[in-house]
Chains A and B, each alone.
Chain A
Amino acid sequence: MRRYWTNTWQFHVLLLPAALGILIFNYIPMFGVVMAFQDYQPWLGISHSEWVGLDHFRYLFSYPDSKQVIINTLVIATLKLSFGLIVPLVFALLLNEVRLMPAKRVIQTMVYLPHFVSWVVLGGILIDILSTDGIVNRLIRAFGQESIFFLGNGDWFRFTLIVSDVWKEFGFSAIIFLAALTSINPSLYEAAEIDGASKWKQVLYVTMPSILPIVIVVATLSLGRILDAGFDQILNLYNPLVYNKGDIIDTFVYRVGLTKGEFSFGTAVGLFKSVVGLVFIVISYRMAYKLANYRIF
């Protein structure tokens, strides 16, 4: 035992600050979820608030608004994840055909940029350019069409969420595919060319199978985020007109739980999300490991 400590005390010391931080700011709130089973009142605290069992969860599943919120979350997240996988993949394949290095670099610099700009700024920009007088609607009117209420109509709001999210992230998401593409052994292409395979056949029979494992990993891992429909983005774009189609679990927790002061109900909704999310994440990691032998560490 003594030898264990003389050999490893330095490792423990190096880990201590991070472990303390995680203990306080991540583990203590996990115990705070008992609020979901109480009628929590801030002045009584967790120790004196009344216990109500599963009341908040019963309410969650019988209240029409919360059902709509769950549906919104799934619809928005599923569409974002699907397009968020396909668009970067196609983009990476197309960029891989660009042989002119300076052009490739300039394109990359430009498409990565939106990833680093916050949703606050992009929200401000989108509200401006998508308004009825905004530059987008001016363009639409120039083609003789009616103006579109992108942020005022529920269906258009969802459309805007998905398109703007894909626009912001596709370049950055493509990095991982580009890395996989550049690591393909060039001799495979040479061999295919000698065998008379055209460029298209090379893409189909060399490129595709080579990057399939990484595509599977990205696809399965994204399953773990099926309940993350984009809190930052939605809070910066939405307004009461589109709550019906645009409210997701996270924004609902914030609106009902913090701004309206229904702390226990908000915690219950958050806990529901965490538990379902945990199940999905575990499944997605198991699948990624089984299908593509992927491990995070």
Chain B
Amino acid sequence: MRQRSASYATFTMFNYAFLTVLAIVCVLPILHMFAVSFSSRAAATANIINFWPVGWTTEAYSTTLGNDSFLQSLWIAVERTVAGTALSMLLVVMAAYSLSKTSLKFPGRSTYTWFFVFTMLFNGGLIPSYFLVNKLYLMDTLWALILPTAVNVWNMILMLNFFRSLPQELEDAALIDGAGHFTVLWRVFFPISMPAIATLSLFAMVFHWNSWFDGVIYMNNKDNYPLASFLHAMVVSNNLTQLGMSAQDVANISNRTVKAAQLFIGTVPILFAYPFLQKYFVKGIVLGSVKE
């Protein structure tokens, strides 16, 4: 008995050490970028920065925030995140409410459900979608970034599973009191579904903030790029001429510390939003997926 617990104690010690290292490895690259962004250019060129800024300066940030193209893309990212999340959540919650009813209450629900779910199984692919957005004259508008992905079927299923887990009596009582379904949804279901709605909103926000590909293909004018698309063109594909900047601006902004600052600014909203919502999303995922 003693032997066994001794070996378990050794295991526990190694386990803690291993998991600590693993957790640190998950944040180190982000920490490195943070360190580079606050370091001097000389230190970045000399390649001596590890995980703490060398020659502390906020120069990279003042350069970044003084660049109009960057600020413009930041604003577009905020717009699409707010508008896109609001629209998406509205559509998803409304549809999920109806789909959460039993077939007895709402004959026709399974037809609708299949209509939605089929799009998870099959899609027309990139090129027909591109031409559709083109034909609808949505190119270079904010709508191109919001409408095509507004109805997220997966979120709809999570939401409908959540609605189903709520006590049936709540709805019945409200209906007997003379409320219609719009009132039940808005006054009864909506307030008590906040954990699930917060979770799915978090996912929608992260999705919009991080989406870059739709910006790249649907925006012909680079001034309409959201931040993620801007970062892709700037940092990843090094496609600076695309962004139509002067040579001086290009030289300033392609600096390694400035690139790091831009990437870090692109991550800040996520770093801030996520610890607050962490308690919700774990709950939300579990609600949606593990059900007996």
Residues of A within 8 A of B (CB): 4, 7-8, 10-12, 14-15, 17-19, 21-22, 24-33, 35, 42, 91, 94-95, 97-98, 103, 106-114, 116-129, 133, 135, 138, 167, 171, 175-176, 179-180, 183, 198-199, 214, 231-232, 235-237, 250, 253-254, 257-258, 263, 266-267, 270-271, 273-275, 277-278, 281-282, 296-297
Contact B22 A127 (CB under 8 A): no
Determine the distance from Cα of A257 to Cα of B105 in the docked complex, in whole angstroms.
47
From known contacts A18-B116, A117-B30, infer whether A176 and B124 are also in contact, taking CB-CB under 8 Å. no
Instruction: Give chain B interface residues in 169-214, CB to chain A under 8 Å.
Output: 180-182, 185, 206, 209-210, 212-213
Which residues of the partner chain A approach B123 to less than 8 Å between Cβ atoms?
26, 29-30, 274
A195–chain B nearest beta-carbon distance, Å:
14
Secondary structure dominating the interface of A: helix
Query: What are 6 A-B contacts defined by CB distance under 8 Å?
Result: A14-B95, A19-B95, A30-B124, A33-B125, A35-B128, A254-B126
A60–chain B nearest beta-carbon distance, Å:
13
Q: A-B pairs with CB below 8 Å: how many? A: 260
Task: Output the nearest chain A residue to B119 by Cβ-Cβ distance.
Answer: A26
Interface residue from A31, A123, A133, A176 paired with B285 (Cβ < 8 Å): A176
Beyond A25-B132, A297-B117, 19 additional pairs, beta carbon < 8 A: A17-B91, A26-B124, A30-B122, A30-B124, A32-B124, A107-B19, A121-B231, A121-B263, A123-B235, A125-B33, A128-B256, A179-B282, A198-B4, A199-B11, A250-B126, A263-B127, A266-B126, A281-B120, A282-B121
Contact A297 B126 (CB under 8 A): no
Which residues of the partner chain A approach B74 to less than 8 Å between Cβ atoms?
none
Per the CB 8 Å criterion, the residue count for chain B at the interface is 98
Contact B30 A125 (CB under 8 A): yes
Secondary structure dominating the interface of B: helix
Task: Output the nearest chain A residue to B24 by Cβ-Cβ distance.
Answer: A110
Determine the distance from Cα of A18 to Cα of B112 in the docked complex, in whole angstroms.
10
Task: Output the nearest chain B residue to A94 by Cβ-Cβ distance.
Answer: B15
Interface residue from B26, B91, B121, B185 paired with A171 (Cβ < 8 Å): B26
**B25 an interface residue at 8 Å Cβ cutoff?**
yes
Interface residue from A7, A21, A26, A95 paired with B91 (Cβ < 8 Å): A21
Instruction: Give chain B interface residues in 1-49, CB to chain A under 8 Å.
Output: 4, 8, 11-12, 15-16, 18-20, 22-27, 29-30, 32-33, 36, 47, 49
Interface residue from A18, A135, A167 paired with B95 (Cβ < 8 Å): A18
From known contacts A15-B95, A274-B124, infer whether A109 and B275 are also in contact, taking CB-CB under 8 Å. yes
Interface residue from B15, B47, B94, B109 paired with A98 (Cβ < 8 Å): B15
Task: Output the nearest chain A residue to B156 by Cβ-Cβ distance.
Answer: A18
Which residues of the partner chain A approach B50 to less than 8 Å between Cβ atoms?
135
Determine the distance from Cα of A110 to Cα of B271 in the docked complex, in whole angstroms.
11
**B220 an interface residue at 8 Å Cβ cutoff?**
no
Interface residue from A8, A18, A103, A106 paired with B94 (Cβ < 8 Å): A18
Contact B259 A128 (CB under 8 A): yes
**B99 an interface residue at 8 Å Cβ cutoff?**
yes
Contact B47 A32 (CB under 8 A): no
Interface residue from B8, B107, B231 paired with A120 (Cβ < 8 Å): B231
B245–chain A nearest beta-carbon distance, Å:
18
Determine the distance from Cα of A21 to Cα of B156 in the docked complex, in whole angstroms.
13
Instruction: Give chain B interface residues in 103-154, CB to chain A under 8 Å.
Output: 105-109, 112-113, 115-117, 119-132, 136, 147-151, 153
Contact B127 A253 (CB under 8 A): yes
Which residues of the partner chain B approach A297 to less than 8 Å between Cβ atoms?
113, 117, 157, 160-161
Interface residue from A21, A267, A281 paired with B151 (Cβ < 8 Å): A21
**B251 an interface residue at 8 Å Cβ cutoff?**
no
Which residues of the partner chain B approach A22 to less than 8 Å between Cβ atoms?
115-116, 119, 151, 153
A11, A110, A267 interface centre (most CB from chain B within 10 Å): A11
Interface string of B212-247 (1 = CB under 8 A from A): 110001000000000010011001100000000000
Interface residue from A33, A91, A98 paired with B124 (Cβ < 8 Å): A33
Contact A19 B213 (CB under 8 A): no
Contact A94 B19 (CB under 8 A): yes
Which residues of the partner chain A approach B22 to less than 8 Å between Cβ atoms?
91, 107, 111
Contact B94 A15 (CB under 8 A): yes
From known contacts A11-B106, A109-B278, A110-B26, infer whether A29 and B213 are also in contact, taking CB-CB under 8 Å. no
Which residues of the partner chain B approach A27 to less than 8 Å between Cβ atoms?
119
Which residues of the partner chain A approach B94 to less than 8 Å between Cβ atoms?
14-15, 17-18
B285–chain A nearest beta-carbon distance, Å:
6
B29, B136, B153, B232 interface centre (most CB from chain A within 10 Å): B29
Determine the distance from Cα of A281 to Cα of B119 in the docked complex, in whole angstroms.
12
From known contacts A18-B156, A26-B119, A270-B127, infer whether A118 and B212 are also in contact, taking CB-CB under 8 Å. yes
